[in-house]
Amino acid sequence: MMAKVSKDMTIGEILSINPDVAPILMEIGMHCLGCPSAQGESLAEAAMVHGIDADLLEEKINAFLNA
């Protein structure tokens, strides 16, 4: 079964699915993945804060998970 991440999921949920996603998030500037606020933030919210297109980030993570 292929993993599927959505931009509505929290960073905590995504990292619990696969912690190997962390480097993808860190490369966009999310260096505080363990912070309580980051854990509860949705992928869309995190993308907005970091000036990244949420749809593209979602696609990139899903491509990585299903490679």
Going residue by residue through the chain (67 aa), what tens digit of pLDDT does each one get? Answer: 456 899 999 998 998 888 999 998 888 888 777 777 777 889 999 889 889 999 999 999 999 988 8
Do residues 41 and 11 lie in contact, with contact meaning Cβ atoms separated by under 8 Å?
Answer: yes
The whole model's pTM is what? 0.83
> Domain residue spans in the chain?
11-66
Q: List the helix and strand counts (H, then E) for the chain.
A: 5, 0
Give the number of other Cβ atoms within 10 Å of residue 19's Cβ: 10
The whole-number pLDDT of residue 39 equals 76
For position 55, what pLDDT does the model report? 95
Q: What does the pLDDT read at residue 60?
A: 93
CA angle 60, 61, 64 (to 5 degrees): 90
